[in-house]
Amino acid sequence: MPDVSILYVQLYGETIGTLTHVGGDRTIFAFSDSYIESNDRPTLSLSFKDEFGGLITDLPATQRRVAPFFANLLPEGTLRDYLAERAGVHVEREFFLLWVLGRDLPGALTIVPADGEAWPPEADSAPAKTVKRDRENALRFSLAGVQLKFSAVKNSGKNGGLVVPAQGVGGEWIVKLPSTRFEGVPENEYAMMSLARAVGIDVPEIQLLDVDSINGLPDGIGVLKGQAFAIKRFDRTADGPVHIEDFAQVFGVYPEDKYKKATLRRLAHVLGIESGSDSVAEFIRRVVFSVLIGNADMHLKNWSLIYPDRRTPLLAPAYDLVSTIPYLEDYSFALKFARTKRFDGFTREELSYLADKAGLPVRPALAVAQETVERFLTQWGGEKRHLPLPGPAVEAIDTHLARLPIVRTGF
């Protein structure tokens, strides 16, 4: 039984470091000398950047789990339980989950075993005869998150559907299946994302399609009917992958703390320093939009940075915009704005305070916010009966809007 297992961490196809699993179920991440010494190295994460802009290389080992940056590449919750069982890996042994799922991660990152396809025997926790088949199947659900989703490619046939690649690699779309807990989530997300685009928010190509039109769904997910939501992957282009990271990775926060460890003020501060005015304006649009639709789930993992030039972060296109108030009576944002989390506490004064403490010019922030409110109310008033939302959801949003000071008095 080997004492040491190594995974290569590759960015844009080049090995930039290693994850090493050693005795005592510890994992160590180390950058390669060539990456450290490069003058034009691509950015892996702002979390590895010190206060002077240099690369942090003195990285502690982790016990059982991997470091937060890598942990956030993996699925969460029930989806992780499902994949770990299929792969024959204990749910907390993240090094070996990365071994299985590392070929189709978010961004331009891949993680591959240093010694090819060999599988260390100490990793197995399921019968050997089923593990190989199920491990290959597990890769088809390799994207981070909670909801059952997978990479897919466009079907070249006449039905215009999507196909799950046989090996789970190379998909240009993410498909989210219907929720077994809440009705109409794909329709809700499609409606909110369509509305966001109309308001001026950067939204990728999206599609609402019948589950029956998706080919290649893996076994073991049960019988699902209705609509699925599909979104074009903004980290995949004709020129190759583009690197991204979410703000849980930026702040070095484990996924289970995605609601706890930061405020929107801190996100705005990072964007103001690292990304510039366009990303800040887009950030404010999304905050205001999420307050207006009653989206209580904009946690750290629902905000991402993208690196179009491989080095400089910009706010990535929007995703996971859903109105949660038709399902849950939660009138608080996922993260604190600056001093409060309540939707009705997001006022001119709160946004002004947030911008000031984040080091942003206040007047432009208020102007973007006011424009977003006006555009939203115009679009919502004209389109709400034409969006794929059931009547009760429309009524829930209308009731919510009536409570908001930003609707009554603006910014």
Active-site annotation, residues: 297
Output phi, psi for 60, to 5 deg: -75, 155
SS3 of 346, please?
coil
> How distant is the alpha carbon of residue 73 from its chain centre?
9
The secondary structure of 272-330 as a DSSP string is: HHHT-HHHHHHHHHHHHHHHHHT-TT--GGG-EEEETTSSS-EEPPP------TTT---
The per-residue b/e assignment along 258-270, b for 16 or more CB within 10 angstroms, e otherwise, is bbebbbbbbbbbb
- Any idea what DSSP says for residue 184? T
Give the residue among 114, 103, 109 at the shortest CA–CA distance from 48: 109
> How distant is the alpha carbon of residue 260 from its chain centre?
16
Q: How far is 316 from 334, CA to CA, in rounded Å?
A: 19
Q: How far is 13 from 115, CA to CA, in rounded Å?
A: 17
The secondary structure of 13-81 as a DSSP string is: TEEEEEEEEETTTEEEEEE-HHHHH-TTPPP--GGGB-TTSPBP-----EESSPPHHHHTTSB-HHHHH
Residue 225 pairs with which residues in a beta bridge?
none
- What does the chain come to in residues? 411
SS3 of 136, please?
helix
List C-alpha distances in Å: 134 to 32, 47, 61, 258: 33, 34, 30, 29
Q: How far is 299 from 290, CA to CA, in rounded Å?
A: 11
**Which amino acid, 206?**
I
Residue in this structure with the two tokens 């409110």, named with its chain if needed: 373
Q: How far is 411 from 407, CA to CA, in rounded Å?
A: 9
SS3 of 271, please?
helix
